[in-house]
Amino acid sequence: MEKIAYVNGSYVPHSEAKVSVFDRGFLFADGIYEVAAVLEGKLIDNASHLARLKRSVGEIQLALPETLERIEQIQKELIKRNDLVNGMVYLEVTRGADKGRDFPFPKADVKPTLVMFTSEKDIINAASAKTGINVITVPDIRWTRRDIKSVALLAQVLAKQAAAEAGAGEAWMIEDGKVTEGGSSSSFIVTQDDVIVTRQNGSEILPGCTRKAVVKLAEERQLRIEERAFTIEEALAAKEAFITSASVFVQGVVAIDGKPVGNGKVGPMSARLREIYVEFAKATAV
């Protein structure tokens, strides 16, 4: 049976899910998106994702066409209609479709576009959770407001394509000699004295929802956290490295640019934080 998407108030088969050629998301990347994980048919850490959605649209003066409560209802309805057990729910809101192509915001009577769809993914049992991933490094060529979860993702597309061509699972982006973040993830290292290091939030990185949860869970267990930038040299000298995101949870990094991190295997801290996050995810799912 064909999967169902949500487009501007209607639930439609994917083959019928369409937006205007004049939609500003298509023409200008004038929009915001979010992705929430689904485990056992329930949304994971969704309140955090919706709060970030609200902040991002506010930063670009884009009004949501539905309340956050209504958006969550639609997410849950899509999970139900698509019989989704494990996977993701994607949503995108754009500034809508005007009558042509003009850079300034359209008039107030142009309604924002809201689309959502689901995809299947078994995050818990992913093979890479045990084997770890290699990452490569690329220059960070993005704009300066990376804290906004914009649909303008061309720089990340190029970074992820470079990783794919290199047989790597992620690309870490480098600016001024320091790691900002991954192409679609937050970056962490574990130092030789067991300090967990991740870049502090700011306009240089997206405030990751999974990152936020993992930092909090680590602090609750009296693990030492330092929020600061780090270099690739520090990462290669570290005991462990890992990434976090809604699509991988906590994923160990075993090599950077072909050079091993630690003993070249997923470290115990990374593995334990993954277990802790999965426990949290299952306990708080809605």
Contact status, residue 101 vs residue 22, Cβ threshold 8 Å: yes
Annotated catalytic, 149? yes
How many angstroms separate the CA atoms of 162 and 160, rounded?
A: 5
Candidate list 107, 111, 149, 178, residue with the active-site label: 149
Contacts of 38 (CB under 8 A, 6+ apart): 44, 79, 84, 85, 86, 87, 88, 89, 118
DSSP assignments along 201-216, one per residue:
PSTTS---HHHHHHHH
Contact status, residue 65 vs residue 112, Cβ threshold 8 Å: yes
Residue whose pair of structure tokens reads 């924002």 in the numeric block: 112
How many angstroms separate the CA atoms of 233 and 238, rounded?
A: 9
Nearest CA among 214, 209, 244, 187 for reference residue 54 = 209
Nearest CA among 229, 30, 22 for reference residue 148 = 30
Active site residues: 149
